[in-house]
Chain A
Amino acid sequence: MAEIPLPIAMLAELTHVCPLACPYCSNPLELTKRSAELDTETWARVFREAAEIGVLQLHLSGGEPASRRDLPDLVSAARDAGLYTNLITSGIGLTDRRLEELDAAGLDHVQLSLQGVKAELADRIGGYRGGFDRKMAVASKIAEIGFPLTINAVMHRENLDDLAETLALAERLGARRIEIACVQFHGWASGNRAALLPTREQVSAAKALVAEARADPGCPMVIDFVPPDYYSDYPKACMGGWGSTGLNVTPSGDVLPCHAAESIPGMVFENVASRHLGEIWRQSDAFNAYRGTEWMAEPCRSCDRREIDFGGCRCQALAIAGDAAATDPVCRRAPTRPLVEAMLSDAIPETAPELIYRARVSG
């Protein structure tokens, strides 16, 4: 095995508690109870360990991270450790006072999710009445404080046609950056694939619109666009390569190579309670399982793209091809590509089933 790289980014899933119930949630089907969450001191230690092993960027996520009452203390601890702190939030639960506390704690950046540009659709997707109006109020307080803002617009069949309005809204809210992320089918989202997968026509129109917006010198935002990979020729380089740049810590302290890795049967995850994060990063079986290119079978093994897309997404290979070590079925060179084609031919708007909402954490 070649030298083990240093991680750059860590996603801290502080909690699975969330007021919303988005059907595309990437959290695992088995949610962690509040009583099993890591406490403030443990998170603070994990942040210090992350900085020691090279992590620069910390993403505070969930669930809804604002559900943690100690959020400002966690931000302070992360800044003390020398990390760049990014809050990934729906905005729900962030009061004006809480935002001021986060400002005082040194929060670097806010990433606000958008379920839709109209209250009716946004509240229906989020499963939370009044959520859109509350979010707009939070966005205005974010602007007043002066936090740099990224809008994270999760797009799917029901809202991809609103892309132009989405860009306009993000600009009005003062965002410097927008992530247009088409739903990826992990966790709760996988049960909603047939309802949420956009059509080929929608995706083509969205790509054209993004190209036009990026070419506009008057556009004040950086636009990151993640198209649905089912329509692509090659898979996305999940996590930039397994165990190469990023790691994920669950609410209870399990350390994962990617947020969906718990869907891979037989994979064992180590916990921050029993080992230093650096040892887990370098030595744990879960991180070494698909690190580098040695684990690959054909057609990946001899492929000229093996160090570009690293065989794609392991969780998607498992979910569609039934084997986490297989080539991502999205790839045109994968023998299982016809399975993806079959899913695409099932994605007909007239037959889209009802949405299944994410469960809420009990207890």
Chain B
Amino acid sequence: MTFEQFKDRIFALAKVHGVEAQLSFSQNKNFQVRYQNGTMDQYTDAGKFKITLQLLKDGKLGMSYTETLDDPEKVFEDALSNIAIIDSEDVEYFYDGKGEYPKIEPYDGSFEKLSVKERLSYVEKAHEEIRKSLDIINDMAVYGQQMNEMRLANTLGLDLSYTNGGGFMYAMAVAKDVSPRSAVEFAIGRKPEALNPIHVGSKARDEALALVGSKSVKSGKYRVILRNDVFSDILGMLISMISAENAQKNLSPLKGKIGEKIGSDILTVKDLPYHPLSISCAPFDTQGVPTKEKTIIENGVFKTFLHNLKTAKKDGVEPTGNAMGTGIQPINLYVEPGNKSFDELLKSLDDGLVIIEVEGMHSGANPISGNFSLGAKAFRVEGGRITHGVEQITISGNFLEMLGNIEDIGNDIRAFMGIITPSVLISNLDIAGNA
């Protein structure tokens, strides 16, 4: 059975049962290779597809999924029986696809054209670059590429498709010291030219070496720079807070705060359907609603929650094109850059810490309370210059309080998975240390 036949069968069953149906078909190709100390450690070359069915009856949604085209009747049955247990008063909707979609270049598959040899050369080169220093005792390099073809169709006539994809690489270097010192660097891109293994390898190596001799610092309040990669990690907390679903269900500290000041005057955060540095762009969300650019925080003022069809209707607003499966997510969270280079930010910091790595976002950051406490690595900055590495510290605070304490924003924007941000300077943050 083909997907076309599967779809026709499901839509026919929907008609018989008097329900609306929506099918998504996603086909994924994925290649990844990992080297440890110059030797291949893992190599995966694979592909799969997944079909998700949503059935809608009287505003109630039942869902099922499958990875075989064998049995559309069973898949239909499952979704139908799931409708039966829904007792939420929330009303769900499907979209008819009549809106205007932004013109976004789909992924051109340029990584797919690389030979296996070319793909391996990324990790080999990164490894060689890292090992140019004899003080490196361990290293790891990863290269990966993926391509995802998505199709979405429903009984209201919507039928859309889009292809996403790109490549990434990652390197870790461990330098010899009393305790080993590790540093990581990575790159992502929609074209192979965006990945420079020499750059990734040398950055990881040099940072690991710079951390040799790290010591902890005294507990207390510090001025800090959250480097772009670190701020990107922490900014992940905002994603759950700006979901209208979470606000409606008392799970967001931003509930009722539209129009209020929640961050520093210089902070502007947007959601962008497309950014040239990002590998996660989309002309429509997972409900088929067109995506669009929107300002979430403007000069510190909270402007909007992100919506899917259900939450928008409930709040009496337009959907924002941010449905993501059963949740709500930005496409690309984008922090407007400031004017200062990273070095100029260091000068403004004068005396403090540059946080270069945080650990434990999944456990030490609570997007409901906004509180976070994370293990961190840093560089000590004195007189506007980096003086030594800092180990065994935590940074703790409240996310929204911290947004209010943003004193300066750099121009060094970088793209991470779905977040594009420069480095930021925070006027004070609690640090716990050992010294």
A and B: interacting chains: no
Interface positions of B (Cβ within 8 A of A): none
Interface positions of A (Cβ within 8 A of B): none
